[in-house]
Chains A and B, each alone.
Chain A
Amino acid sequence: MYKLNNTVMKMITPLVSGILFGLGLLLSGMANPAKVRAFLDVFGDWQPALIAVMVAAIAVFALAYAFSKKMKQPWFHSIFHKPSLTALDARLIIGAALFGIGWGMVGLCPGPALLSIMTGQEDVLIFILALLLGNRIAHISVGPAK
């Protein structure tokens, strides 16, 4: 019975997380490209409200992360998959820079982009297809980070 529950919870946990994530993106305005671009427009008509999104999200996750250090394992899984990369290399900087340019151009990062598929807007679908193409190009040309 315990095993069955774990299997079900391994489906329900990411499902619930995805719903909460999406609701948060929509409520905060992170899924509105015009608002994101206005937030990035620090030298023009700057709208700084989205700082609050970052601060609140980081604070809540930081608390959960601190709490997890007292746990032997996650509630429904055997281990915590802690990111293994630690090096500050050119790859990290170049990748982040390219992402920043694309993010500034349209105002969509991957989460809001995926979520926006549901609006059925042609412009969002074009962006998503280009995103998947870029993902594939990077995968073929540079491969996974080690």
Chain B
Amino acid sequence: MWNELAGGALIGLAAAVLWLGIGRIGGISGVVANLFLLRQGHRFWSLYFLIGLLLAYPLYVYLVGTPDMQITNNKVVLVVAGILVGAGTYIGNGCTSGHGVCGNGRLSLRSIVATCTFMAFGMLTVLIMNNLPYSWDV
């Protein structure tokens, strides 16, 4: 419980630093689109944000230890899910960070609706996958 609260506070702090420092919303799907779809004028901060995000991993391993990260090895599930996440966050203009943290923190109606939608569909997807007579290795 404390790890979750402290981790969440760190995520909120990260978004706060970005907003108060350079006036940008800390949305990762935005960062991805800025960098990989080559959006003019947004690449600069997005690149430094991505470098920071990647640096966090070795720093965490050094400070705390190797984190537990269990992921499916079902290649079809990985590819289909990856495409859905990449397309869905582009179409809906945000993900768990941009809508889930920043948008909800701003009390944006769009973000509240988006968050309820992706949470509901995420829960529904897990419910269906876990109850089908097929082992997904997830």
Within 8 A of A (CB), among B87-111: 87-93, 95-97, 99-110
B85 touches A15 (CB 8 A): no
Question: A4 an interface residue at 8 Å Cβ cutoff?
Answer: no
A93 touches B96 (CB 8 A): no
Within 8 A of A (CB), among B1-35: 1, 3-26, 28-29, 31-33
The listed residue (B11, B51, B83) touching A131 by CB distance below 8 A is B83
Task: Give how many B residues have a beta carbon under 8 Å from the other chain's beta carbons.
Answer: 106
B7 touches A26 (CB 8 A): yes
A22 touches B55 (CB 8 A): yes
Q: How far is the CB of A144 from chain B (nearest CB, A)?
A: 9
B101 touches A57 (CB 8 A): yes
The listed residue (A18, A56, A127) touching B8 by CB distance below 8 A is A56
Within 8 A of B (CB), among A51-101: 51-65, 67-68, 71, 73-77, 79-81, 83, 85-88, 91-101
Question: A105 an interface residue at 8 Å Cβ cutoff?
Answer: yes
Q: How far is the CA of A16 from the CA of B88 in the complex (A)?
A: 28
Write the chain A residue with the least CB distance to B136. A105
Whether A94 contacts B92 in the complex (CB less than 8 A), given A74-B19, A105-B81, comes out as yes
Q: Please, what's the 1-or-0 string for A27-70, where 1 marks a CB less than 8 Å from any CB in chain B?
A: 11111111101001111100001111111111111111101100
B127 touches A134 (CB 8 A): no
